[in-house]
Amino acid sequence: MLDNVLAYLPAAVRAAVASLPVSLLHVVEEIRIREERPLEIVYDKGSAFVTADGRQTAGADDAYRPTHEECRGLLELLTRHSFYSFEEELKRGYITMPGGHRVGLAGQVVLEGGQVKHIREVSSFNIRIARELKGAGSPLLPYLIHTESGCIHHTLVVSPPQQGKTTLIRDLARLISSGEGISSAAGGIGYKVGVVDERSEIAAAVKGVPRFDLGPRTDVLDACPKAEGMMMMIRSMSPEVLIVDEIGRPEDAEAIHEAVHAGIRVIATAHGRDLADIRQRPVLRGLLADGVFGRCAVLGRSGGGQRSMRVYDAAGKLAAALSPPSISSALSELRGLGSRAAMGTRGLVPPPGKR
């Protein structure tokens, strides 16, 4: 998946990142490109600046500094040389690359009627690497199954950014759809799953076809607003389980209530540090007060980078404390990762306009 990202990067930035050790490239979570400022990577246990020849450095003075022309070229590739067609994404401050990688943007904001119209003179890019981690949902899944009925609990997954929410629900979609770890209540073949993928991160769909494995009985609405997409799914695809990412608006809550009243199980994510944090947000507080979610899974990370997961029931009582697999621990079991050149420019997927 990192090859897709490298293909978009300016040549000097691509060469620097591709020259990093393969073991590090496999766990990079963010590539942060800032005009005339140090090139930086964030990985599972910390962050580092990157030199022009692909060395990690703690000193910003030694790092490569992307130029204005390089940042401008990167934005043109991300928008396929058409800023107008990406106006809505620029307004929201991010663009999703093929492969599900989200690129956060910062720069000069243009206002219209007191509202953000778009961002121009983009000078900062935060490329968040999307990865498929099969098995990420396995530790949690048993706690999401109702012991008597075998149905899936309505579930809210909570964490700060970059803690694995999307990776987790992506694998839960695969497990629930395939029936892996599900009791005979689903007839032994899993449930029909509907994924509303507003930011194209969960499924990494290309022309509507998911590139990540979401299971054999999963349907995806790609690049569709969550609330509208949930209603479309309910009306047209008869899902048994609905999965959505990053809820928080009043219309999201209304759609979730509609799904629940229709007998559809809902799995959603939300930004927050813990249950106390999300109770400060009116929409989420209302959903919790209404007893919508039978389970809440709170993801976090220790100071040493170890991932953690705490599972609560509808009353807020702790049901389990888990240690879900991380990308780095999963990869530590692999052997023969290949040479550094294997992550170089050879075999890269060309960006738009270069195919």
Question: First-to-last CA distance in the chain?
Answer: 17
pTM of the model: 0.80
The pLDDT of residue 94 is above 60: yes
What confidence score (pLDDT) does residue 266 get?
Answer: 98
Instruction: Out of 114-118, 249-253, 302-306, pick the least confident.
Output: 302-306
* DSSP 8-state assignment for residue 161: T
d(CA 217, CA 179): 9
From 218, 279, 276, 262, select the one nearest 243 (Cα to Cα): 218
Please list the residues that pair with 321 across neighbouring strands: 310
d(CA 2, CA 125): 16
Scan for tokens 């994404």, then name that residue. 89
DSSP labels for 30-48? Answer: EEEEETTS--EEEETTEEE
Please list the residues that pair with 102 across neighbouring strands: 96, 128
pLDDT band at 294 (very low <50, low <70, confident <90, very high): very high
Question: How do strand 193-197 and strand 218-222 relate by DSSP bridges?
Answer: parallel
d(CA 77, CA 73): 6
d(CA 231, CA 264): 11
pLDDT band at 100 (very low <50, low <70, confident <90, very high): confident
* DSSP 8-state assignment for residue 129: P
More confident residue, 304 or 336: 304
Distances (CA, A) of 24 to 54, 99, 327: 11, 20, 11
State whether residue 12 is helix, strand or coil.
helix
Please list the residues that pair with 148 across neighbouring strands: none
What would the pLDDT profile of 313-329 be if each residue is shown by its tens digit? 999 999 999 876 654 44
What confidence score (pLDDT) does residue 155 get?
Answer: 98
Cβ-in-10-Å burial (0-12, 13-18, 19+) of 341 comes to exposed
Residues 69-85: what's their mean pLDDT?
90
Sheet hosting strand 295-301, strand order edge to edge: 218-222, 193-197, 241-244, 265-271, 155-159, 295-301, 307-313, 318-322
CB 252 within 8 A of CB 283: yes
The pLDDT of residue 330 is above 60: no
The pLDDT of residue 190 is above 70: yes
What confidence score (pLDDT) does residue 165 get?
Answer: 93
DSSP labels for 242-257? Answer: EEES---SHHHHHHHH
